[in-house]
Structure 1
Amino acid sequence: MKGTEILNMFGFGVEEEPASIYPYSPVYRVKYGEQDVVVKRTQKRAESVISYTNMLKGKGIDVVTPVKLKIDNPQKYEDTNFVVYPFIEGQKYSGKDNEIYEAGKLLGQIHSYSPGSNDYNLLDYDVYDFNEEEVEESMEAIIQHAKKAGLKIDPALKIKLLESVANQQELYRANLPHVATPHDFKANNLILTPDPYLIDPDNAAWIPKIFDLALALLLFHNEHQEAPDRVFTIDEWDLFLSGYKEFMDITDEEKRYWDKAKQHVFLDEVMWLMAEYEEDWQNPSQQKLFNSLIQIVLNSADYQLA
């Protein structure tokens, strides 16, 4: 995938291959006239995402929406959609209490503007088909990565993940409240201006609300150099929730399924992260985060929605 071809597709006239400003996928910062913009990958349902984020923007939510160009934005390169967003100036999250509280408020506001049904035709979450073999394979990879890093994985993790496989259909049949959400709400997707500004809404989906909350709990500090190398503390989680609850209520049924939802999101979002990226186990900061994640899934009773 050539960065020059992607940028020139939008008419930027670039001759030298650009460097991505993000290590895990192509994200290019370029000039559009006097404005700094970012060119990045978006999902296949690009128009659905844009309609949804335009609605949020119209409601006063600080979220990027596509820059108006002389040509269509987004554009398709091979089988991948790319979009041009404004580059947002500001500070990075650093784990301060007020930042955590304001982030919780922003997610609560975003959820509060969700329609009651999937009006924007976002990706409908349907990942309820994990099997025991996948857990066995992933755990073997995780154990080997950890061993090379001089670490040992608690065997109880595998037991918890197999429990999550067994709980999938119960969660599916529970008919939990769903929301339209950017569904990647974590620190490296926020810029503080000083209020948090969402710069990556491209994973937008229609998903059980508590799954989105569980993802924030588990991975808010992932892939962020300035963030603490751990999940939220219990006090920080309570602070995040206090901001969230200014705009959204949590039902008794959601509270009842919360522990199973946390385990399911770990199965879906964290297990592959630990299994796929061997190099992360050699990074002391990411090691600490992984250990923190394992502890939260093994001893998650203190992280509640009450």
Structure 2
Amino acid sequence: MNEVYTYFGLDSTITSIYKYSPVFKIKQGGRDTIVKKTKKDRSKVERLFTWTEQLEDSGIGVVRPILFKDQLYHEVNDQNWVVYPFINGRKYDASLKDIYDAGSMLGKIHAVSSNKSVFDHGFNWEQYDEGFINDVKSDINHLLDQYKDNVHIQAFKQLSKEIKRLLENSFENLKDITIPYVDASWDYKANNLIYSEEGLVLIDPDNAGSIPRIFDLALALILFHTEIDTAPERMFTVEEWEEFKSGYLCHVSLTETEKEVWNELLIFVYMDEALWAMNDLDESESEHQKSFIKSLLGFEPTKYTL
């Protein structure tokens, strides 16, 4: 990390403003900027920049790289780094308007790549093999034991039955269903949005890739409130989901197949993302984040319809 500090002229006492990866806020040329890691592969970085340019050209607020040392990205310590402008504005306030606006932005993002994808990388069903299935079963057993006295444990017991049913009866069939893929941030949550005077801005596009459209939508439903202290310590309520969905569907027309497999795919995304988050919950997390993660035990997928 010393090389990174030296390359960008960072003060040796500066620390990351984000807990989970190095993100530094510094002044450069009289303006506030953000220095952070981006994709490791050069071709993926270039595709990322093409995608964010497309978003901007479509009127979607998103950070774009700014020149530093006459370059848009920088290889330091075998990692690529990027400098973004710091976006002034406020955090998500969990109002229905903020929720609607966030849903609307996600719909706009998905609509941009409805005809042609920029990315040649992203979601791949091949990684969801027997090892993944065994990990899911192990995670469920661990959680059932760890949280046996939790207020949500009965709901989780019922959900675990649905997960096992999916794994045993229809998981392989789910992989064969044809559903639309889109270019997306693959990390669409309130913590990555700034509500500025100019409008909503996506401030962390760097995880982006090609992903099934309703996978990305399901991921937003489950984890939109993670890691942000201005959100409730829980996932969306049904009312909030309806508001988010309403904004989203102003820009996207889902296929009948997407609607048919929604519940199954929602359970799959929960297996892939929520189970992992609950099992990896660190005691050093804030009480707010701990409460959010534990609340996922009470997820009832059938309540959240398309």
* Number of equivalent positions: 297
Extract unaligned runs of 5+ from structure 2. none
Q: Is the 8 A contact 1:145 1:278 kept in 2?
A: no
**Alpha-carbon deviations, 1:83-119, whole Å to 9, x = none?**
1111111000010111001111111111111143433
Structure-2 residue corresponding to 1:271? 275
The 5-angstrom pairing of residues 117-136 of structure 1 reads 117-126=116-125, 127-129=127-129, 131-136=132-137
SS of residue paired to 2:269:
helix
The letter of the residue matching 1:112 is A
**Alpha-carbon deviations, 1:157-177, whole Å to 9, x = none?**
433333343433222200111
Q: Is the 8 A contact 1:65 1:85 kept in 2?
A: yes
The 5-angstrom pairing of residues 186-201 of structure 1 reads 186-194=189-197, 195-201=199-205
Going from structure 1 to structure 2, the CA distance change for 1:19 and 1:144 (only over 3 Å counts) comes to farther
Q: Is the 8 A contact 1:48 1:122 kept in 2?
A: no
Which deviates more from structure 2 when the two are superposed, residues 89-98 or residues 118-127?
Answer: 118-127
Structure-1 residue corresponding to 2:86? 87
Structure-2 residue corresponding to 1:68? 67
Structure-2 residue corresponding to 1:142? 143
The whole-number CA distance in structure 1 between the counterparts of 2:22 and 2:302 is: 38
The letter of the residue matching 1:177 is P
Q: Is the 8 A contact 2:111 2:252 kept in 1?
A: yes
Q: Is the 8 A contact 2:5 2:11 kept in 1?
A: no
The letter of the residue matching 1:229 is E
**Alpha-carbon deviations, 1:11-39, whole Å to 9, x = none?**
x3234142000111111011111111111
TM-score normalised per structure 2: 0.89
Structure-2 residue corresponding to 1:235? 239
Q: Is the 8 A contact 1:229 1:286 kept in 2?
A: yes
The whole-number CA distance in structure 2 between the counterparts of 1:257 and 1:28 is: 41
Which deviates more from structure 2 when the two are superposed, residues 66-75 or residues 255-264?
Answer: 66-75
The whole-number CA distance in structure 2 between the counterparts of 1:68 and 1:236 is: 39
Structure-1 residue corresponding to 2:15? 19
CA RMSD of aligned residues (A): 2.3
Extract unaligned runs of 5+ from structure 1. none
The whole-number CA distance in structure 1 between the counterparts of 2:117 and 2:172 is: 21
**Alpha-carbon deviations, 1:33-71, whole Å to 9, x = none?**
111111112123222111111111122110011112223
Which deviates more from structure 2 when the two are superposed, residues 117-126 or residues 77-86?
Answer: 117-126
The 5-angstrom pairing of residues 264-303 of structure 1 reads 264-279=268-283, 283-296=286-299, 299-303=300-304
The whole-number CA distance in structure 2 between the counterparts of 1:79 and 1:267 is: 32
The whole-number CA distance in structure 2 between the counterparts of 1:76 and 1:7 is: 13
The letter of the residue matching 2:94 is G
**Alpha-carbon deviations, 1:116-165, whole Å to 9, x = none?**
34333242443432543212332344356547x97784433433333343
